[in-house]
């Protein structure tokens, strides 16, 4: 039997914004995902523990405060250090730095560190929808 994909949704550790997480949870649920929303200001250790316990099909980070690059790097390194999480798609999106930089200047280092996709705040939600359409979920 096919089950719904499990997705962990999280803010980065320094970001206290919540509206973005509520909105993305609704988007993901509308697209058939079961969502574990960890909320804002998630410590990296809690994120890793939850990911190991939940065994997600996807991890989504959202950031509004402009610290996504720095906080995202720490989070992806901790996730990828766990053997059970090395193949899980992990994406980050939103305002990734305080200068408002867009494009490959920010996405390249995040992708090189292990993110599957990066969505700058200048992209539309359509780019995220297109990504979700490409995520292949295999379930028991």
Q: Characterize the bridge pairing of strands 34-37 and 90-94.
A: unpaired
Please give the pLDDT value at position 102.
Answer: 73
DSSP string, 39-86: -SS--HHHHHHHHHHH--SEEEEEESSS-HHHHHHHHHHHHHTSGGGT
pLDDT over 90 percentage in the chain: 76
Match domain 6-134 to its CATH number in 3.30.2130.10, 3.40.50.280, 3.40.50.150, 3.40.50.300: 3.40.50.280
CB 58 within 8 A of CB 88: yes
Given the structure tokens 């798609």, which residue do they identify?
A: 89
Residue 139: pLDDT over 60:
no
Please give the pLDDT value at position 125.
Answer: 87
Residue bearing the bigger pLDDT, 29 or 104:
29
* Per-residue pLDDT tens over the stretch 54-79: 999 999 999 999 899 999 999 999 99
Please give the pLDDT value at position 18.
Answer: 95
């Amino acid at each position: 039997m096919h089950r719904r994909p499990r997705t962990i949704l999280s803010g980065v550790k320094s970001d206290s914004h919540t509206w973005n997480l509520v909105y993305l949870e609704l988007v993901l649920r509308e697209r058939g995902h079961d969502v574990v929303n960890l909320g804002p200001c998630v410590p990296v250790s809690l994120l890793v523990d939850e990911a190991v316990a939940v065994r997600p099909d996807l991890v989504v980070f959202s950031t509004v405060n402009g610290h996504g690059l720095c906080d995202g790097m720490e989070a992806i390194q901790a996730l990828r250090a766990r053997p059970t999480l090395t193949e899980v798609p992990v994406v980050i999106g939103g305002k990734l730095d305080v200068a408002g930089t867009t494009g490959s200047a920010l996405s390249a280092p995040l992708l090189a560190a292990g993110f599957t996709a990066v969505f700058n705040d200048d992209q539309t939600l359509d780019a995220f929808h297109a990504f979700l359409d490409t995520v292949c979920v295999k379930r028991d």
